Amino acid sequence: MKPVIQPKVTLVGAGPGDPDLITLKAVLALNKADVVLYDALIDPVLLDHAPASAIKLFVGKRVGKHSLPQEDTNQLCVSLAKKHGHVVRLKGGDPFVFGRGAEEVDYIETFGISTEVIPGITSAIAVPAAAGVPVTKRGISESFWVVTGTTSAGDLSKDLSLAAQSTATVVVLMGTKKLAQIVSVYRKFGQQDLPIAIIQSGTTRDEKITAGFMHDIEEKAFENKVEAPAIIIIGEVVRESIRLAEIYREAEKYNL
């Protein structure tokens, strides 16, 4: 007699890139997966946590290289859960931080399929931290904003203009292609000397950090051939990183 299939979809946050930064609860969910649908920023070693018998499908998206439209991924979650049982939707960072996780849950639940969300360590905080940049520090920054660099319409978020007028640390995700616009917003508010860092492939072996000020970051990013995926951190806390200290000591020496 065939076992009764109990469809379920678990959205799992895989963390910021380093496979060791996935949570124990996420690993335990992968251990019980019948199907794994994974994104582009997932380290392939994480798939080893799933049973050898599990179906593993890549459904990721990268700039200019979309694998499956979001609607198709949503439908796959439903059809594969009905056919095989437990689907783990493995997503980079945290599923609910610019990960469209809430949309996936909404869609799946309409089919009466149970869902679970396992939070991941968001790259918005972990990537700066791994580079020695605290998003908050007493006496320097008492809050932080996490802003998308590219809205669903493809534009720079209008929230950035509000953030640029505050003393908060600002972390911009998906903003490398909008660097010139980001700089323009801050210069408009007289913030051309504000420290800024771009961390490409943060927490991984391919990590590359470009740091400077609003007035020179575009030139540095061009020289260093900065590409996505990268996170942009803006604010005085960038100076607090021991790893970046020499850059800012040199700037102070020449009154830059």
Query: What would the pLDDT profile of 54-87 be if each residue is shown by its tens digit?
Result: 999 999 875 555 557 888 999 999 999 999 999 9
**Catalytic residue selected from 18, 43, 174, 178:** 174
pLDDT, the chain, mean: 93
- Condensed to tens digits (0 to 9), the pLDDT of residues 88-139 reads 999 999 999 998 999 999 999 999 999 999 999 999 999 999 999 999 999 9
Active site residue 1: no
Active site residue 193: no
Token pair 């007289």 in the structure block, residue: 190
Mean of pLDDT values over 222-239 = 96
Among positive and negative, which fits the CA dihedral 14, 18, 24, 27? positive
Band (219; pLDDT cuts 50, 70, 90): very high
Would you tell me how many other CB atoms lie within 10 Å of the CB of residue 187?
Answer: 15
The amino acid that residue 216 corresponds to is D
Token pair 């990960």 in the structure block, residue: 99
Closest CA to 93 of 195, 147, 21: 21
**Catalytic residue selected from 25, 32, 56, 61:** 61
Q: Are 101 and 210 in contact (CB under 8 A)?
A: no
**Is the predicted pLDDT of residue 3 greater than 90, yes or no?**
no
Conformation bin of residue 64: beta by default, left when phi > 0, alpha when psi is -120 to 50: left
CA distance 124 to 96: 12
**pLDDT on residue 63:** 52
Closest CA to 133 of 252, 216, 231: 231
Active site residue 91: no
**pLDDT on residue 236:** 96
> Most distant CA pair in the chain: distance in Å?
79
CA 113 and chain centroid, separation: 27
Percentage above 70 pLDDT, the chain: 94
**Catalytic residue selected from 39, 43, 91, 94:** 39
DSSP character string of the chain? -PPPP--EEEEEE-BSS-GGGS-HHHHHHHHT-SEEEE-TTS-GGGGGGS-TTSEEEE--EETTEESS-HHHHHHHHHHHHHHHSEEEEEESB-TTSSS-HHHHHHHHHTTT-EEEEE----HHHHHHHHTT--S-BTTTBS-EEEEESS-TTSSPPTHHHHHHTSSSEEEEES-GGGHHHHHHHHHHTT-TT-EEEEEETTTSTT-EEEEEETTTHHHHHHHTT--SSEEEEESGGGGG-GGGHHHHHHHHHTT-
**pLDDT on residue 66:** 54
